[in-house]
Chains A and B, each alone.
Chain A
Amino acid sequence: MYKNHMHLEFDSRSENERFARVTAAAFATQLNPIMEELSDIKTAVSEAVTNAIVHGYENHTGTVILEGEIVDRTIILTVKDYGVGIADVKKAMEPLFTTKPEEERAGMGFMFMEAFMDELKVESKPDEGTCVIMKKTIIER
């Protein structure tokens, strides 16, 4: 069984949104994904990291963790914050649901994560933080 792991911690600054998605995509390249799959991974990670920054830490400084794991042909990406957390995860994941319409948030982040990854799991507790786990299998070509 092929296995690999990476762990990244960074400040919740918007500059790091790009850093995080590009790093996740670079980690994924060992599975030889096609461009579209790389784009899927970039978008999903960008959404989760942006959520940690704008919702989790509400634009205050905190630490965001990005973890990558590869097991055989599957990449598992975890984005974690120790921010405000989500009281009702089911509700938060509904398409178009947003708590920040005044910041022009569309409520589409979770929708994109779901569309672009094979599996999405969200664990959260108010005042403790949020953990988003995403999986995608890259078929061998």
Chain B
Amino acid sequence: MSQEVGTEEIGIVVEDDTMIIRAGGELDHHNAVELRTLVDRELIKGKIKNVIFDFTDTNFMDSSGIGTIIGRQKIMESIGGSVRVRNMNPNISRIFQISGLHKIIKVQE
């Protein structure tokens, strides 16, 4: 069964124990605050084991996005779950590499 919550920009799909986060057009400080609230409201229920950040619609991300991914990674690590990322455009991929996050978070092909 899948359940959808979110705003026009941010989309969150929960399927069994997997949450797919469509990060929206621009993941900056302004949008990250809202995304965290929506995501953590689901995570707190304790059923999610896998979190996937899907950047298909995302054309901008800065350190606030990196902080958001690290924050969810910490939560998931504490409950034995995982965080993955996918569909990053070249700009977002570059941010991801420079941040060093590629060493701790898997990129799903």
- Bitwise, A105-117 to B at CB < 8 A (1) or not (0) is 1101101100100
Q: How far is the CA of A39 from the CA of B26 in the complex (A)?
A: 12
Stretch at the interface among B42-50, B78-86, B91-99: B91-99
Q: Cβ of B28: which chain A residues have Cβ within 8 Å of it?
A: 14, 17-18, 46, 50
Query: CB < 8 Å: which of A18, A42, A106, A112 contacts B30?
Result: A18
Given contacts A15-B30, A18-B30, contact A36 B67 (CB under 8 A): no
Interface code B89-109, partner A: CB below 8 Å = 1, 0 otherwise? 011001100110000000000
The listed residue (B26, B32, B33, B98) touching A115 by CB distance below 8 A is B98
* Cα(A54)–Cα(B33), bound, Å: 12
Task: Verify if A140 is at the interface (C-beta below 8 Å from B).
Answer: no
Residue in A18, A36, A106 whose beta carbon sits within 8 Å of that of B70 in the complex = A106
A54 to chain B, nearest CB (A): 7
* A: contact size bracket: 20 to 34
Chain B residues with CB under 8 A of A53: 29
Within 8 A of B (CB), among A84-140: 103-106, 108-109, 111-112, 115
Please report B residues at the A interface, Cβ cutoff 8 Å: 26, 28-30, 32-33, 36, 60, 62-64, 66-68, 70-71, 90-91, 94-95, 98-99
Binding site for B on A (CB under 8 A): 14-15, 17-18, 21, 35-36, 39, 42-43, 46-47, 50, 53-54, 103-106, 108-109, 111-112, 115
Cβ contacts A to B, 23 pairs, < 8 Å: A14-B30, A15-B30, A17-B28, A17-B29, A17-B30, A35-B91, A39-B60, A42-B60, A43-B60, A43-B95, A46-B28, A46-B62, A54-B29, A103-B67, A104-B32, A105-B63, A105-B64, A105-B67, A106-B67, A108-B99, A112-B62, A112-B63, A112-B95
